[in-house]
Structure 1
Amino acid sequence: MEGHRGWGPHKEPQNESISTRLNWLRAGVLGGNDGIVSTAALVLGVAGATTSSQAILIAGIAGMSSGALSMAAGEYVSVSTQRDTEQAALAYERRELAETPEEELDELAHMYEQRGLTTDLARQVAEQLTAKDALRAHAEVELRLDAGELTNPWLAAVTSLVAFALGAAIPLLAITLAPVDARVIATFLAVVCAVAATGALGARLGNARPLRAGLRSVMGGAVAMAATYGIGSLVGQTAGL
């Protein structure tokens, strides 16, 4: 399908590097799942302590806002660190190419030879790639990097923020719109369906097993919700709420 642009089961991305796709995919899936589960756990914990719809709504909105911003900040810092490491590695490689070009050419030819090419063919490939773009050739083979497409911290941060907020909206809407006597079960069911879908979708896009990923997400979410609801109920009883 054109929308996937070559990314799907048993296919590899054609227009974007794998690292770039995995960057926003990881940020989006983790952000969405965190938004769903953490907000659900928060509102259910409050619901276990009090029946006040206003308190539950305020807690949910506060949790969604703080969680989305925290997730975005964390992704930005972590991916920025990764990008700095990549840039440092490229700078070191660039310096080696400038100072010892012949040794670097021999090294590149040797790496292609280790990959299965004959000595003569490996040398030809190394020479042609070096003539075209020596840094990119060494980065791809030696560093496993695309010198022209490093990880983007802003992309990861924005993806995480939006995904967390969208995920958090699911339990928040479920517990707000459902009748008081059914809001706990309604939120639980909504969250189970949501985390199963996001887990399976992430696995599908990443060429993993959707069922296993979906079940893993459901189990984690269910445990978190049950635990916080139980804690909230205990706190509510102790405090006489």
Structure 2
Amino acid sequence: MLELKNISWEIPDGDKILKGIDLEIPDGKMTVITGPNGGGKTSLAKIIAGLEVPNSGEILLDGENITDWDITKRAKNGIAYAFQQPVRFKGVTVRDLLNLAAERTLSEREICSVLGEVGLCARDYIERDVDASLSGGESKRIEIATVLSRENAKILVFDEPEAGIDLWSFTSLIDAFQKLKNESGKSLLVISHQERILEIADYIVVIADGNVRAFGEGKDVLPQLLKEEKESKCPLGKDKKGENN
């Protein structure tokens, strides 16, 4: 289990983004973190992954304090993170990247399967370089595929996985999440305001103004979110000016 205890974090100018977050991420379940813009969702994901260090509080993985671990050590111990803006690598093929993520040589069949789960035809991508020749959506899907290929991962963290993905690929992504949460036994932690992703969540966490505003089973939390959205006429994940998070 992943536990966050009194996590606070502020940016250099002193603006506090997270204000004492207490949260337990259930094992083997799909937990979606949602909420209004600027509430701290992505900051929390980066702190879990080890990209940022909290100013105070503790992060526990299966009871062990990992607060001071960097992203590499966390990855080796089972936390996999898909960047919101994927990194590109000149001279590294999709095959190379998936093999690095899996820490072994994947078979053609395995590569085809993991790329298919994110809506990519392996025949067209397996030998392509992960560089600027890829569109933003293609890079995003390949980034997600690297997380899916991580066999040792216990917690899969996805930061707005729907960003830059077309409708057909988004449907494939929903199917991949459904399969993962039903068959893998891994914990999925997804940052998203997409209703279709919220609909398949086992648990939903609402982060607003740096605090946990709500936490519970998806079937209980989502109806309340949709009611609030309807009353405010403000789509999930947008403020009243319509600005994206």
TM over 0.5: no
- TM-score bucket of the superposed structures, by smaller chain: under 0.3
1 or 2 for the larger relative contact order (CA 8 Å, sep ≥6)?
1
Say which one has the larger Rg: 1
- Structure having the larger proportion of residues in helix: 1
TM-score normalised according to structure 2 size: 0.24
Which structure is higher in strand share? 2
